[in-house]
Amino acid sequence: MTALTRADYVSLTTYRKDGTPVATPVWGVVDDGRLYVWTEAGSWKVKRLRRDPRVTVVPCDVRGRIAPDAPEATGTGRLLDAEGTEKVRRLMGRKYLMFRLGDTWSNLTGRRRRHPIATVEISF
């Protein structure tokens, strides 16, 4: 869990109907032993999670490249409600300056209303 806490990006792997893994680099923040990620509600990873909650996460870089010795964790993802999303917004804002800037911009431009957000809690 320490590696996930320190990582700027994590590779979040979700699974298609046929079991094919699909990895996506995302920002992640750890709180109380759980990993939280932020994404658009209409993204494919959210659609895959609704069908199959299995996930694998591993620290990576912005392009999703994984170091050979990077620790991998398998868990279960669940989508959070509005209250959970606000909690994740605060956690992400504390960890990532770019998140705070982007979140402020989304509020000012109305992007958040046009592109709803989904947050995912991953338990290990």
Exposed/middle/buried for 28, CB within 10 Å: 0-12, 13-18, 19+?
Answer: buried
pTM assigned to the model: 0.86
Angle between helices 97-109 and 82-95 (to 10 degrees): 130
Beta strands 9-15 and 117-123, pairing class: unpaired
Cβ within 8 Å of residue 15, ≥6 positions away? 21, 22, 48, 52, 54
Q: What is the pLDDT of residues 11-56, one digit of tens each?
A: 999 999 999 999 999 999 999 999 999 998 999 999 999 999 999 9
CATH of the domain at 73: 2.30.110.10
User: Residue 115: what pLDDT?
Assistant: 58
Number of domains observed in the structure of the chain: 1
Could you report the per-residue pLDDT of 55-108, keeping only the tens digit for each? 999 999 999 999 999 999 999 999 999 899 989 988 999 888 777 677 766 766
Residues spanned by the domain of 88: 2-123
